[in-house]
Chain A
Amino acid sequence: MSTPYKTIMADGLWSNNVVFAQLLALCPLLAVTGTATNGLGMGLATTAVMMTTGLSVSLLRNAITPEVRIPAFVLIIATVVTLVDMAMNAWLHELYKVLGLFIPLIVTNCAILGRAESFAVKEKALPSIVDGIMMGLGFTFSLVLLGAVREILGSGTLFANASLLLGSPFSILETVIIPDYKGFLLFVLPPGGFIALGFILAGKNLLEKKLEGRAADDETPETPVAEAEAR
């Protein structure tokens, strides 16, 4: 039983995206996406956790009996999160202070347990790592996108404090989109997160509908045979 890597990548990044398709992990999503930088930091930390837990769960999948799998997964995830938490405290201390409590709370991110349960426990080590990375990157993408929207609308900047996360060379990323902006506090607060996420989801659905329509226009008259084979 194995899934082609292409499918794993497409699933993680777009068609089964943690946020935009599964609507999981909304708690950290709404809590930390006040700025794009925070979203990026949180996303990368979660990606590291997903990759490592994917690998561990996959390697241990034959040793863990189905009856105890949930506590075992939680134990593995908690261990990895603690490592990431300490590593960020040591090397990315400024960002760690901003993200604070939300790093330990990655443990409760249902998306991670979800991938362990639905993917890593059935697959070999390498596909599990790839799945972890792709799901994590998809999550990071959605966090950065939402963070960027909220940051531009809420405070008129983009990637503020990026140098805290990526080092001083990346301070060029820090841009002021709207000069002399007084700020629109609603979008920095959680309700703004919900509102922005709602509009992004609506936009995604619209985009997919358009793409679907175009694909149908392209394919149906020309290659009915190929389509039938693909199914």
Chain B
Amino acid sequence: MPNRSATEGGPYAHKKTSVQRTMVLVMVALVPATAYDLYLFGWPAINLFVITIASALMIEALCLVIARKPIVMFLTDGSAILTAWLLAMSLPPWAPWWIGVLGAGIAIVIGKQIFGGIGQNVFNPAMVARVALLISFPLEMTTFVAPSPLGTAGAPGFMDSLAFTFGLANSVDVVSSASVLGHVKTELSRGIPLQQALEGNYDLFAMTLGDASGSMGETSFSLILVGGLFLIIKRVISWHIPVAMLGTIAIMATLFNLINPAQYPDALFHLVSGATVLGAFFIATDLVTSPVTKRGQLLFGVGCGLLVYIIRTWTAYPEGMAFAVLLMNAMTPLIDRYIKPRVYGRTIKGDPLAPKGGS
């Protein structure tokens, strides 16, 4: 059947990508790590996860009503769900309900909608919310618990955990436990050598699998890596930012570890702990807030990696992923201004190419 339309005449092709497809693919990639961590941290984590996403959707709808934008179209594009999902993954798993609601509000309103909605924001909304929460509520945002998988003896039941999440009861026994990064930072600042600090707290196998304390979705190195590779294979993200970022962290860590092994942990420690892989594959690669060109993305990744290492090693915060990504988000317009792709038929400076050969 001839399809005559305005597009007649050119080799027009449509690659069936849409905002919705991208968001859904990222969520699919997040499912294994999220599911495993929700299982590990049990009902309180599941409550917080659901609360964060539900409130993000409601707040997004409210913003769209106020801005008089089409509600169904923007709500179903999945961006609000993904933002809230990434935010929830970066929260302590047993945080109270209002952390999730407030975080979703900050992410959607201040991080995204006041810039003009999807595609207009300068900073990664989930990280804006995480940093705002971390600075405002340091106690709630750094209270980590040891994993207590669903169905095991120590895990709270559904009703208990509902009461716990909404602050009605403190009856649930919490086995609090510092994240490995936090623990190492504290011990090093007390003058205890690294090897001693790591003993009994750093089990490479458990960290790779995810059976460690930390934020809700960041603990499982291997499952997040699988999700990240899936995104690269599906071409949702390119390899440039993650490789540049992880490479920079590894090089920095190896360098300083060689200089003083008692003070600086090795590369493997930095790669499997904290939000390193989650940030490299899922947060820094946000299409809206990272550079357009491949060379720009490499620079962006190196910058993120350097900042993560610097913040982890020499500042008061044990983890610097959110700060690093936000700082590099601020650099993105500058990177895009100076690193531009060559226009077809012109040199990198914009002059017309001289015709080659004869004719």
Contact = CB atoms under 8 A, between A and B. Distances in A.
B114 interface: yes
Contacts, number: 14
A182 B135 contact: no
Contact of B135 (A186, A195, A198): A186
A185 B131 CA distance: 12
B132 interface: yes
Interface in B120-147: 132, 135-137
A147 B137 CA distance: 21
Nearest to B139: A182
B110 interface: yes
A189 interface: yes
A198 B110 CA distance: 10
14 contacts: A182-B137, A183-B136, A184-B136, A184-B137, A185-B135, A185-B136, A185-B137, A186-B132, A186-B135, A186-B136, A189-B135, A191-B132, A195-B110, A198-B114
| Size bracket of the B interface | under 10
Contacts of A183: 136
A180 to B, nearest CB: 12
Interface string A5-49: 000000000000000000000000000000000000000000000
A195 B132 CA distance: 12
A189 B131 CA distance: 13
A45 B135 CA distance: 32
Nearest to A184: B136
B26 to A, nearest CB: 28
Interface in A166-197: 182-186, 189, 191, 195
Contacts of A186: 132, 135-136
Contacts of B136: 183-186
A189 B135 CA distance: 10
Interface residues of A, number: 9
Nearest to B140: A182
Nearest to B138: A185
A198 B137 CA distance: 23
A179 to B, nearest CB: 16
A178 B235 CA distance: 50
Given A182-B137, A185-B135, A198-B114, 11 more contacts: A183-B136, A184-B136, A184-B137, A185-B136, A185-B137, A186-B132, A186-B135, A186-B136, A189-B135, A191-B132, A195-B110
Contacts of A189: 135
A198 to B, nearest CB: 7
The 6 A-B residue pairs whose C-beta atoms are closest, nearest first, are A185-B136, A186-B136, A186-B132, A184-B136, A185-B135, A186-B135
Contacts of B110: 195
B96 to A, nearest CB: 11
Contacts of A185: 135-137
Contacts of B135: 185-186, 189
Contacts of B132: 186, 191
Contacts of B114: 198
Interface string B134-169: 011100000000000000000000000000000000
A44 B45 CA distance: 50
A152 to B, nearest CB: 15
Nearest to B110: A195
A185 B134 CA distance: 10
Interface in A189-219: 189, 191, 195, 198
Nearest to A187: B136
Nearest to A182: B137
A211 B131 CA distance: 38
Interface in B257-301: none
Nearest to B133: A186
Contacts of A184: 136-137
A185 B132 CA distance: 9
B133 to A, nearest CB: 8
Contacts of A195: 110
Nearest to A185: B136
A184 B98 CA distance: 12
A73 to B, nearest CB: 36
B81 to A, nearest CB: 24
A59 to B, nearest CB: 46
A189 B136 CA distance: 9
Contacts of A198: 114
A178 to B, nearest CB: 13
B227 to A, nearest CB: 31
A190 to B, nearest CB: 11
A195 B128 CA distance: 13
Interface in A63-84: none
A189 B137 CA distance: 13
Among A182, A183, A186, A191: residue with most chain B CB under 10 A: A186
B91 to A, nearest CB: 16
A181 B167 CA distance: 15
A189 B110 CA distance: 16
A184 B141 CA distance: 13
A182 B138 CA distance: 11
A12 to B, nearest CB: 29
A91 B147 CA distance: 59
A88 to B, nearest CB: 32
Contacts of B137: 182, 184-185
